Amino acid sequence: MVQFYSPNRRSVNRGIISVTADNLDAQGQGIARHQGKTIFIPGLLPGEQAQIQLTEEKRQFAKAKVVKRLSDSPYRVIPRCPHFKVCGGCQQQHVATELQVNTKASVLEHLIQRETGINISAQPIIHSPEYGYRRRARLGLQYHAKQRTLLMGFRQSQTNDLVNIKHCSVMRPELEQLLQPLSQCLNSLNAVKRLGHVELVLADNGPLIVLRHLDPLKHEDREILRTFSVQYRVAVYLAGDEKSLEPLIDAQSEPWYQVDGLKLVFSPRDFIQVNDEVNQQMVSQALAWLDLQPTDRVLDLFCGMGNFTLPIANKVQAAVGVEGVAALVASGQYNARLNKINNVDFFHENLESDIQQQPWAVQGFNKVLLDPARAGAAGVMTHIVKLAPEKVVYVSCNPTTLARDSKILLEAGYHLVSVRMLDMFPHTSHLESMALFSRESMTIE
């Protein structure tokens, strides 16, 4: 009989071993070493000793769970949220903020050094309020027939089940206080079994809710929602599908927020930065790094609705924003008119396609800002080099792609002048950052 070779699966040692964590990764996992292998252990902090059990073993590393913690780090704190360890939203509420941000800054510095060979500090960190910072949240809705109740909340860690959220300490208080009455309201609807999700957003002129419903809402349900809207002074929008958006009350004012003294109106479905305080500091830092002058022509790539573009345009000869989402381009154009800014143009273009054929690409610019999604900006980096701007500010939500894209600028002779870690999402593994590149060697105070 023919026998086929089949590699043996790597068996996992299920025995109990004792380790001491010596570091923390960006996800908040403790890092320990045992018999030459790196082990990642959720819930363990540097300096803490514990008995652990391996849950997964690879050639170079392993994962484990804590069976018994034998000592406590001075950086261990009591999580404020009652849903911690169950909800998948926050992973690091047990870690003191100082250790969280310093760890993320170290991870950022390590990635840049590994990819570019440059040793650079990510300090000073742009800090956030520890709690109550999130002005936007999307919660799933899930009807349980046996319990005859609608669950509203975030996904459980590593499952598709919902944690029924009654409190969320990272939400802005104005949104958190709506959680329980909103849950009661939605549970009272006839359409309770046919709801998709709900988004809570805090604009500068008040809170709003976007309710995704899978079937048309009957008059009775609309009246229940209208009563809720009036009682809690919250604007309600109905989304019958992923594209439609209907204000429940026609007289609802448009939501807006302020940045750098400008008023930016947005659609409830437009992307806005979740952390307003960090956004204000981030925009201010970008403007300072660009050292804007009245004669400058500035390009803003992946510009969204003009969060950077419009403050930049207020200070220069001309600004151009390029964005792939048509609705955001329309919001940027509207806000330019609203703020009487006449020296800015917005283009709706796919920055992953052949940008050489796009109308903005034939214009000249002496300074550039880009704020791409997690995939980075590989498609535009060579064109930025061709523009030969004096300065480039790169805002990033993924340090890996920031480090990768940086190499193109460095190989073209640019200098990495400064890097900042942005504490945009405290208690989570998300690592936001920004970097300044200059064609000339320079120092930043």
Q: Any idea which residues carry the catalytic annotation?
A: 397
CA angle at 416 for the pair 411 and 419, rounded to the nearest 5° = 140
**Residue 5 burial (CB < 10 Å; 0-12/13-18/19+)?**
exposed
Residue 437 annotated as binding site: no
Q: How far apart are CA 372 and CA 394, in angstroms?
A: 8
Evaluated on CA atoms 182, 185, 187, 189, the torsion sign reads negative
Both structure tokens of 368 = 């550039």
Is residue 371 marked as binding?
yes
Strands 195-203 and 206-213: antiparallel
Q: Tokens 């709690």 label which residue?
A: 131
Whole-number Å distance between alpha carbons of 266 and 254 = 7
The phi-psi region of residue 52 (left if phi > 0; otherwise alpha if psi is between -120 and 50; otherwise beta) is beta
The annotation status of 302 as a binding-site residue, yes or no, is yes
* Residue 339 marked as a ligand binder: no
Say if residue 303 carries a ligand binding annotation: no
Contact 396, 372 (CB under 8 A): yes
205 is in an annotated binding site: no
Q: Where are the alpha helices (DSSP H) in 97-148?
A: 97-116
Instruction: Determine the Cα–Cα distance for residues 395 and 283; give it in Å rounded to an integer.
Output: 10
307 appears as a binding residue in the annotation: yes
Residue 23 near residue 31 (C-beta atoms within 8 A):
yes
* 168 annotated as a binding-site residue: yes
Q: Known binding site: residues? A: 81, 87, 90, 168, 273, 302, 307, 323, 350, 371
Q: Known binding site for S-adenosyl-L-methionine: residues? A: 273, 302, 307, 323, 350, 371
Q: Known binding site for [4Fe-4S] cluster: residues? A: 81, 87, 90, 168
